[in-house]
Amino acid sequence: MAEALKTYKAVKVEKGRGGWGGPLTVKPSPQKPYVVSITGGGIHPLAQRIADLTGAAAFDGFKSKVEFNQMACVVIDCGGTARVGVYPMKKVPTIDIHPTSPAGPLMQFITADLFVSGVKDENVKPA
């Protein structure tokens, strides 16, 4: 019950140097309370920063699973084509720490309103 009363804040995520897409506004909700880190090696500091600024829960997507419809956003470290397209295809706002642009078999799903890349800490600000 207490979780339903939680107040979430929004952040604006802009592309970093050499990046593509965005800006994205990420605002978690009781239905979408997770900032999911799909980076390996635990929760990426950028995912933790977004969670801290918004009031969301940072979640290690390699250790366990969260349903797509519970993700406020996902932070990835993909320089290739797989993860870059999977989350936008599922309509999950996707933040890539690498400066990638649409490519690969899922590129039609990688749109500026769902994807931003090259993101560093300084590219995330309260909305």
> DSSP state, 56?
P
73 carries an active-site annotation: no
Q: What is the DSSP letter of 107?
A: G
- Residue 46 burial (10 A CB sphere; 0-12, 13-18, 19+): buried
Q: Which of the following is catalytic: 24, 58, 78, 124?
A: 78
Distance of CA 110 to the CA centre of its chain: 13
Phi/psi at 32 (nearest 5 deg)? -130, 75
Question: Would you please indicate which residues are annotated as catalytic (active-site) residues?
Answer: 78
